[in-house]
Amino acid sequence: MRYRLDLQYDGTDFHGWQIQPNAHSVEAEIEKALSTILRETIDCLGCGRTDTGVHASFFTAHFDSSQHVDCEQLAYKLRHLVPETIGILGVSLVEDDFHARFSALSRSYVYRLQYQNNPFNRHFCHLVKPDLDIQLMNESCKDLIGEHEFSAFCKGAPSSNHYRCTVLQAYWVSDNIGAEFHISANRFLRNMVRAIVGTQLEIGRGKLTLDKHRELILGGTRSEAGMSVPAKGLTLCEVVY
């Protein structure tokens, strides 16, 4: 039987979701807890691979078990076994063809900036000077919408042998404390959001024109786009099925 697990986590102390040799991962903690409770070896598959230090206010995984599981009881027990940096939102029985990654229609991220240091936000926001032209940055976001080859915003080779993604929405909201970049797409490339935000900051500081930004989207290279911003400001916030 297949089960869906919805969770959230503070990625500060993790080397991302996926299990890696000699590294602390969210997946490893979840699999260890599930295997302990169910007394069988459990393998999880997540909706994506968040990088080291990236957070998730909503993340979905699935796993198979030979047992009929009381989902409420399993969620309750998981909450007491996983570290405090992981929150269990719920467990549910799903169809056997449900896949946390491939069944997803879209994913949404938010990247947070703060204009002055707040020690309580230091693990979740990137500190920048309040010298950004948010209106111009929102104008440039219009060019991100739609299906494009995002090769200028990908680290390394893409997992699906192409850089094509369909961005559904992209925009900035801001106040006198900081700003947030919101983006949704059918899929994301490795390091894509952080590279886009880094490029957006160059636009907001007048270092990159809208015309050059359009050229990057149409066929630029990674070296031509902006630097990737730190992982700590990025949070996966929604997965739609």
Q: Which of 51, 97, 131, 133 is catalytic?
A: 51
Annotation marks residue 133 as catalytic: no
CA–CA separation, 68 and 102 (whole Å): 24
Q: Are strands 164-174 and 178-185 parallel, antiparallel or unpaired?
A: antiparallel
CA–CA separation, 127 and 233 (whole Å): 9
What sign results for the dihedral spanned by CA atoms 215, 216, 219, 224? positive
Residue type, 6: D
| 3-state SS, residue 12 | helix
CA neighbor of 107 nearest in space, from 183, 28, 217, 216? 183
Nearby residues of 205 by Cβ (< 8 Å), 6 or more positions away: 131, 132, 133
Catalytic (active-site) positions: 51
